[in-house]
Structure 1
Amino acid sequence: MVRAVQADPSNADQARSWDGPEGAYWAEHADRFDRAVRAYRTALLAAAGVAAADRVLDIGCGTGETTRDLARRATGGRALGVDLSAAMLRVARQRAAAEGLQNVDFVQADAQVHPFPATAFDVAVSRSGTMFFADPVAAFRNIGGALRPGARLVQLVWQPPAGNEWFLSLTRALAAGRPLPAPSADGPGPFSLSDPARARTVLGAAGFRDIRLEPHSEAMWFGEDAADAERFTLGMLGWMLDGLGERDRRRAVDGLRTTLVAHESETGVLYASAAWIIRATRP
């Protein structure tokens, strides 16, 4: 029986979201979310540099695509994926079993406080899963304690919104002319580690050294065509329509449709994105 996740009180809102409707939507559309960021896959795995005997921790593993990638490389080791979402972890376990992977495990946990075994891992990896901690210094310190001395942390996080066309275009369309608050640069959210100075400060305070940020830019995929992408995007961001009258709702959906059509290509609806691959070492 899967127990409810035990989250740090400061992460209670994140736990309710990811172990609730948001996580359920990601689980239902796992293939779409994986495909959206798949252009970063090769660079992230190369940066992780997992060797055959490595013990690997995947933080915020979601439905487990990266965890399975890591397990296939750690043929003589193991990969552990942790996430707040029970729904996504069910998908992760099913897919690992379907692929016959015997060296992969998944645990529902808040990585900020989970009692990982000390010095148990050779590398920790995260594909956009480390940006939502309420207390990132405490979280990275906890993760660092799970790494052996000299082990590495490799994570993919978003660069600031200005480099992420997908975020600006979709949210501005659905805002329907309303002013939107700027995304938090120092609280839980997709851009909390986007500022290189803050990322270095947080990781340094958590005890990591040799912190390096490598910029990457790739196209993100949102659907086969505009109609397909519209259904997916409204399922993900439809909450932005809450409180709008009928006229403004139509305006927002029309604006969304317009930007999606403008980004159609032969390979689907594509938007520019920019991310950092951050590497750090546990002394």
Structure 2
Amino acid sequence: MNIEHGDKVLEVSIGTGSNIPYYGRYTDALIVGVDLSEAMLKICSEKVIKYGWRNIELIQGCAEYLPIRSDSFERILIGGAISYFSSPKRALQEVEKVAEPGGKIVIYEQITFLDRLLKKDKIPLRLTPEKLKLVNYSYLFGKTSTSSNSLSKALNV
């Protein structure tokens, strides 16, 4: 995900903050992390203090009902968490709501070989609100990689 200096970035389900080291070079970008787990946020907070970053804010909240104003963020990341949400579709609608018009939303999910065999690998795409534009999806391992402006084309429907 390309982050520009001065961007407002939201990471939904920030967990223990494993992505925080990658945000370090964007010292003037506002990074907001939301997570449901108080224990995860405590570990994440310790990392924020350890690295001395003052531009990272942490909020306890639910992905399905984000405690954030609409149209607030240029960049949003959901990493490896969709399968843990009680309502993934609702969470994606919330993410769409808090994204600024023209903002970028990046979703990455761990997909196993078995998921691909059982055709469960495109579930996050199926849950994506219709008015969002699919720019790209790909697999980290394997030869499949597709770019398309059409969500239905990517889903093979």
Equivalent residue, structure 2, for 1:37: none
| TM-score, reference length from structure 1 | 0.46
**Is 2:61–2:67's contact at 8 Å kept on the other side of the alignment?**
no
Equivalent residue, structure 1, for 2:137: 213
Q: Distance in 1 between matches of 2:135 and 2:127?
A: 10
Aligned pairs, number: 143
Equivalent residue, structure 2, for 1:202: 127
Match of 2:6 among 35, 53, 56: 53
Does residue 144 (structure 1) correspond to residue 96 (structure 2)? The answer is yes
Q: Which residue identity lines up with residue 151 of structure 1 in the other structure?
A: G
Tell me, what secondary structure is at the counterpart of 1:203?
Answer: coil
Equivalent residue, structure 1, for 2:154: none
Equivalent residue, structure 2, for 1:133: 85
Give, in angstroms, the shift of residue 85 of structure 1: 1.1
Equivalent residue, structure 2, for 1:95: 47
C-alpha deviations, 1:3-41, integer Å up to 9, x for none? xxxxxxxxxxxxxxxxxxxxxxxxxxxxxxxxxxxxxxx
Give, in angstroms, the shift of residue 116 of structure 1: 1.1
**Is 2:10–2:76's contact at 8 Å kept on the other side of the alignment?**
yes
Equivalent residue, structure 2, for 1:115: 67
Q: Distance in 2 between matches of 1:203 and 1:56?
A: 19
Tell me, what secondary structure is at the counterpart of 1:210?
Answer: coil
C-alpha deviations, 1:207-252, integer Å up to 9, x for none? 321242111029xxxxxxxxxxxxxxxxxxxxxxxxxxxxxxxxxx
Give, in angstroms, the shift of residue 89 of structure 1: 0.6
**Is 1:60–1:130's contact at 8 Å kept on the other side of the alignment?**
no
Q: How does 1:245-264 map to 2 (within 5 A)?
A: none
Tell me, what secondary structure is at the counterpart of 2:136?
Answer: strand
The Cα RMSD (Å) is 2.5
**Is 1:78–1:103's contact at 8 Å kept on the other side of the alignment?**
yes
Q: Distance in 1 between matches of 2:7 and 2:70?
A: 15
Q: Distance in 2 between matches of 1:101 and 1:61?
A: 15
Q: Which residue identity lines up with residue 126 of structure 2 in the other structure?
A: T
Q: How does 1:28-107 map to 2 (within 5 A)?
A: 48-70=1-23, 72-107=24-59
Tell me, what secondary structure is at the counterpart of 2:134?
Answer: strand
Q: Distance in 2 between matches of 1:75 and 1:66?
A: 14
Q: Which residue identity lines up with residue 69 of structure 1 in the other structure?
A: Y
Larger radius of gyration: 1
What is the identity percentage for the equivalent residue pairs of Structure 1 and Structure 2? Answer: 20
Q: Which residue identity lines up with residue 136 of structure 2 in the other structure?
A: R
| TM-score, reference length from structure 2 | 0.79
Q: Distance in 2 between matches of 1:98 and 1:199?
A: 34
**Is 1:58–1:67's contact at 8 Å kept on the other side of the alignment?**
no
Q: Distance in 2 between matches of 1:137 and 1:127?
A: 15
Give, in angstroms, the shift of residue 77 of structure 1: 1.8
Tell me, what secondary structure is at the counterpart of 1:92?
Answer: helix
Tell me, what secondary structure is at the counterpart of 1:73?
Answer: coil
Which blocks of at least 5 consecutive residues in structure 1 are unaligned?
1-47, 165-182, 186-193, 219-275
Which blocks of at least 5 consecutive residues in structure 2 are unaligned?
150-157
Q: Which residue identity lines up with residue 216 of structure 1 in the other structure?
A: L
Measured at CA, do residues 132 and 211 of structure 1 come closer, stay the same or move farther in structure 2, by a change above 3 Å? farther
Between structures 1 and 2, the one with greater helix share: 1
**Is 2:5–2:29's contact at 8 Å kept on the other side of the alignment?**
yes
